[in-house]
Structure formats: structure tokens, C-alpha cells
Amino acid sequence: MKIIELETYEEMSQLAAQIIIQKVREHPTTVLGLATGSTPSGLYEKLVQDHVHNMTSYKEVNTFNLDEYIGLAETHEQSYHTYMDKNLFSKINLRKEQTHIPKGDAVDHLIEAQKYEERIQQAGGIDLQVLGIGKNGHIGFNEPGTSFSSRTHVVDLTPSTRQANQLFFNSLDEVPKKAISMGIATIMESKEILLLISGTSKNDAYKRLLHGAIDEQFPASILKRHPKVTVIRCQSPKQF
Ligand code: F6R
């Protein structure tokens, strides 16, 4: 893993954006894997600014998001569909058909998970996957104990993950209990991975990632086996 430590959230977002912009400019048909949450929203802001000022084009790019809550309509204000539309998709030249997010409101979630894997394969796999990390080491919504050989699947969110995401909802009760997430094996098949870690609340997770064993109880630890991972770490969190 290549580790880059920066001071501010702004610097982390800027560098992550540069890496993606360079990739898309060099390979206009890049398949991007995307994350949601607090950590990457600054990155998306930078991509939008660059698109407006430098006209980087996403005309031939395809995107696959890591995960979506089960039980929220796509149009729910806290769905990851809404997050991506608001933060990125509606602001760059990316048509809806080029964007892929698991359907949390599918009739059959198991079939949806399988179809999602097929869509990734049909697109030729993910070239560059953006990840955040949970305090408990989750990547995507793969919670501790998830098999390293897992593929896109239905997951039960842990109480700590639901609590961490409560700030986006009116109450803990409203936070969904399940999600569909790319599996760990799916993530590991990405050709390149960019892991963003911001804020002191992730100190323990960051230390464990660097110094801990590779262990299914800490899902992000598997990234140490991937040949091309860049970790960008900043101490300051996103300022709301
Ligand atoms: C989001 C995702 C999660 C988040 C993680 C960190 O699509 O898959 O793994 O990256 O929960 O979330 P934030 O960035 O809100 O701290």
C-alpha cells in the first residue's frame, strides 16, 4: 500500500480528485467504483469544479457504487442514489445509463446482487475503486466477520455502523438495518484502489490497518494483499 498523509480534508480531496481526473483523461472509458458517506463528498466537489473549469469529460465513463440501503426508495433523500445524483452525477456529463448503484428497493435482493456482479463483469471490471473505511474496518458495507471471498450480497448493518450514519437521518430508528454491498472479493478485483481516511475518529482504524494482522474481523486489512492501493489519510474531518 502506498500511504500519503496530508494535513487537511481539502488537500486529501484535491489529491484524490487529481488521481481520478488523470485516469479519466488518459483512459476516457475508465470504469470507476464509487463510495458515499462524509469522506468522499469533498472529492466529488473537486471533480465537479474540474469538470466546469477544465471540461474533463465523463461521456464514456461507467460508474459502479459500492452499496445501497435496503428499504429506501431510490428517491429517498438519504438513499445513495440521491447522494450520488446530488453530489456528482447531475453535475457532470454522465448519463444515467452509465451509472450503476445496487437497487435497494429491488423485489428480490439476491437476484439484484447477482445481476450487479454480472453488470460489473460486462463492463470489464472496475479500473479504479474509491473506498472509505468504517471505524470497525468495514469497506463497502462489509462488516467485521464478512468472508474475504464474498461477492455482492445482502448485509446486516452493525449497531455501530447504523449509529455512525444516524447523523444523516432524524433518528436511529430511521436508519435502515440492511444494505446490498459489493463483496470483499468484488472490491479486491478492482485494478486499482484509492482509500480515503479522514478525521481523528478513524485513528484506531488507520493504526489497525497499518499495523494489524490480515483478519476477517477487520475487513480493510485485506487491502494489504492488493497490488495497487493508495491510502490518503488526513487528520481533519469534513467540515459540515
Ligand atoms: C459508503 C461505504 C462505507 C463508507 C464508510 C465510511 O458507500 O461503503 O464503507 O465509506 O462507512 O463512511 P464515512 O465516510 O461517512 O465516514
Domain residue ranges in the chain = 2-234
Whether the pLDDT of residue 95 is over 90: the answer is yes
pLDDT in tens, 163-173: 988 988 999 99
The pLDDT tens digits of the residues spanning 184-239 come to 999 999 999 999 999 999 999 999 999 999 999 999 999 999 999 999 999 987 76
User: Residue 9 C-alpha to ligand 1 middle, in angstroms?
Assistant: 15
ipTM value for the complex: 0.99
Q: How many residues does the chain have?
A: 240
Contact (CB, 8 A) for 65 and 101: yes
Q: Does residue 219 have its Cβ closer than 6 Å to ligand 1?
A: no
39 lines ligand 1 (CB under 6 A): yes
C-alpha–C-alpha distance, residues 128 and 34, integer Å: 9
Q: How many CB atoms lie within 10 A of CB 5?
A: 12
pLDDT grade, residue 70 (50/70/90)?
very high
Is 105 catalytic? The answer is: no
**Residue 16 Cβ < 6 Å to ligand 1:** no
State the closest ligand 1 atom to the C-alpha of 65, by its place in the atom list counted from 1: 7
Cα(16) to ligand 1 centroid in Å equals 16
SS3 sequence of the chain: CEEEEECCHHHHHHHHHHHHHHHHHHCCCCEEEECCCCCCHHHHHHHHHHHHHHCCCCCCCEEEECEEECCCCCCCCCCHHHHHHHHCHHHCCCCHHHEECCCCCCCCHHHHHHHHHHHHHHCCCCCEEEECCCCCCCECCECCCCCCCCCCEEEECCHHHHHHCHHHCCCHHHCCCEEEECCHHHHHCCCEEEEEEECHHHHHHHHHHHHCCCECCEHHHHHHHCCCEEEEEECCCCCC
Identify the CATH number of the domain defined by range 2-234.
3.40.50.1360
